[in-house]
Amino acid sequence: MIKTGIVLYHGIDSGEELASYGRMAEDAGFASLWVTERYFHEETFSMLGYLSATTRRIRLGVGVVNPYTRSPALLGMGAATLDRLSGGRMMLGLGRSEADVIRGRMGMEYRSPLPRLRGTAAALRSMWSGERVSAEFGGARLTDVGLAIRPLQERLPIYMAAIGPRALKLAGEVSDGVLLNAYAPVEYVRWAAAQVRDAASNAGRDPADIDIACMSIVRLTDDPESLMPALRERIARLIAEPFTGETLLDLGGFDTSILQPVRESLAAGDEAAAGELVPEYLAEACYLLGDAARCRERIREYVDAGVDTPLLLPRLDAFERTCCELAP
């Protein structure tokens, strides 16, 4: 059985609104409800605390927080607390974030992201099992840190966000699940799932124990063509990101020669021109786009490519429709 989850977009205005989305997702039968950490928007642990009190069964995940803005000790405290408040429903997503945000905008040290993620995961496991931790990794240091509380779950799941081969390998070696990039084409997902499972096997783990989750942007519509200009511009901004563009296009089976002109157009401030350089078939490959029947076909394509847990990410104004039309 496919464990479909759903993701909350940013822009929540009140606790009652947040609770209503939680109830919609739970009543629709989704296995999990995820909150994303979008910088300078809603704070995710606060939202999860509220959701833990206003839902009863649905699992709650954060996708993702990073070990820079929250130290490993603070992450351990927060996740353990949320697990206890929710009755053992918490899932912690970790990612490396970006240097231009952590260092450039927040003024915090940012270095050695993969060692930082590996060390944080190990420290969390130790702290949650009742051990005292003294360790130094990736610029972080813990000195005789022990938690006074423990999660309810014997093994609180840690998911790692990953795009490239090194991060995917790390996820396969140490995590309980991987969160694949939103907007990821199916062929890239097929390659990424194989990387994770190979890494798990090489580390002596059962690859089936790694939950491969993938966020997919949902645009339920009977008129896909009307959305295409905005979708093409969004994909242009995505592939303009260094490394991300090369990885998703090359491993997704698309022509990478558009990257330079797209980046030049965006650098010149011409988003419309950048969007026009993105073929419609590329934009279509990065979304669940169309009516409910077409979106379900696309979900099946991702599952066939290796995704265990599809995570649907609609806009807030389409959350209820998505719950109704794409319920598991």
pLDDT, tens digit, 9 for 90 and up, residues 70-106: 999 999 999 999 999 999 999 999 999 888 888 888 8
pLDDT confidence of residue 97:
86
Per-residue confidence band for 58, with pLDDT thresholds at 50, 70 and 90: very high
For residue range 143-156, list pLDDT tens digits in order. 999 999 999 999 99
The per-residue pLDDT for 110 is 87
pLDDT at 245 over 80: yes
- Given CATH 3.20.20.30, say whether it is the number of domain 5-220+291-325: yes
Residue length, the chain?
328
- Residue 308: per-residue pLDDT: 98
Could you tell me where in the chain the CATH 3.20.20.30 domains are found? 5-220+291-325
Q: What is the 3-state secondary structure (H, E, C) of 197-255?
A: HHHHHHCCCCHHHCEEEEEEEEEECCCHHHHHHHHHHHHHHHHCCCCHHHHHHHHHCCC
Mean pLDDT value across residues 187-206 = 98
* Contacts for 293 with CB less than 8 Å, ≥ 6 apart: none
Whether the per-residue pLDDT at 185 is higher than 90: the answer is yes
- Helix 259-267 to helix 244-252 angle, to the nearest 10 degrees? 150
> How much is the pLDDT for 106?
86
Q: Residue 273 and residue 270: Cα distance in Å, rounded?
A: 6
Question: In angstroms, rounded to a whole number, what is the distance separating the alpha carbons of residues 189 and 216?
Answer: 11
Mean pLDDT of all residues belonging to the chain = 96
Report d(CA 136, CA 111) in Å as an integer. 13
> What tokens appear for 43 in the block?
């704070």
- The helix or strand, by DSSP H or E, that contains position 15, with its residue range, turns out to be helix 15-28
pLDDT at 130 over 90: yes
Contact call for residues 290 and 252 (beta carbons, < 8 A): no
Report residue 116's pLDDT band, with 50, 70 and 90 as the boundaries: very high
**pTM score, two decimals?**
0.95
pLDDT at site 306: 97
pLDDT at 276 over 80: yes
Which pLDDT does position 94 carry in this prediction?
Answer: 97
State which H helix or E strand residue 314 sits in.
none
What is the rounded end-to-end Cα distance, in angstroms, of the chain?
9
Q: Compute the average pLDDT of residues 232-256.
A: 95
Task: Quote the CA–CA distance of 266 and 189 in Å, as a whole number.
Answer: 27
